[in-house]
Amino acid sequence: MVKIDKFAVVESGAEIGEGTEIGPFSYIGKDVKIGKNCKIGPNCVISGNTEIGNNNVFVSHAAVGGPPQDIGYKGEETRLLIGDNNIFREFVTINRATTKENKLTQIGSNCLLMAYVHIAHDCQVGNNIIFANNATLAGHVKVGSFSTVGALSAVHQFCTVGEHAFIGGGSILTRDVLPFVKTVGSRGEGKIFGINTIGLERKGFPKETIEALKSAYRILFNSKMLLTEALKVCEEKYGDVKEVAYLIKFIKESKRGIQR
C-alpha cells in the first residue's frame, strides 16, 4: 500500500512503488518513478525525469532531479537515476544531467549523503559511498565505490575519485583522487597521506593485499624515481595483485593529473 500524506502533491503520471510513503508538503513530479518501500519525508522535491530504486530514505527538504546548474542547458530531456538502499539527509541536492556526456546523473546503491550534500549534473557516483555534511561534487565528477568524502569538501569538475579513496574534511581537490589512499586538500593543493590501512582492514581486505598496496605506494611516491619509472617497477613486483593493478591503471589513465 502506498501512503501519501494529504498535504503532499503527487502529479498525475508519477509512478510510486508499493510500500512507499510520502510525507507532508513534499512534491513528486509527473515524470518521476519511485520504487518500493521508499520513505519520502516532509518538504522534499523530486522532479524531472528521475528514477529512484527501492528502500531509499529522503529525510526532509531534499531536492533531487532539478535541472542542471549550467548556463548551456536549454531544457533538453536528461535523467537522474538512483539505485537502492540510499539515505539522503536534510537539504541534499542532486541535479539532472546536461547533454554534454550521456545525459545521465547517476547515484548507485547503499550510499549515505549527509546534510547539505550537493551532487551536480552528469556526476557518476558508485555504491557504498559516504558523503559527510556539505560535501560537494561539481559537474561530471566520477566517484568510485566504497569511498568517503569528508565534510565541507569540494571536488572540481571532471575529476575522478578512485574506489576506496578517503578524502579528509575541508578538502578542495582539483585533480584526480587516488584509490585506497588518504587525501587532504587545501586551496586545491591536495596532499596524500598513505594507504587508508584502517579503512581497508575494516572492509575485510587481506593483510597481504594491504601490504602490497603500501609497498607500491612507497615505490610510487616515496622513492626518488620518476613516476613513469616507478610505475614500471610496481607492475613488475605487484602487477598480479588486482588492487595494485587498479591503482597503476588509475594513474596511467588520469586526465587531470593526480593529487600527490
Catalytic positions are 121-122, 139
Distance separating alpha carbons of residues 71 and 76, to the nearest angstrom: 12
CA dist 19 → 22, 24, 252 (Å): 10, 16, 46
Tell me how crowded residue 247 is: count the other CB atoms within 10 A of its CB.
Answer: 27
Distance separating alpha carbons of residues 87 and 108, to the nearest angstrom: 11
Long-range contacts of 149-154 (CB under 8 A, 24+ apart): 151/114, 153/185
Helix/strand number for the chain, H first, E second = 4, 28
CA dist 76 → 15, 49, 71, 73, 109 (Å): 22, 11, 12, 7, 27
Cell of 169: 574534511
Query: How many Cα neighbours within 13 Å face the side chain of 133?
Result: 2
Cell of 249: 591503471
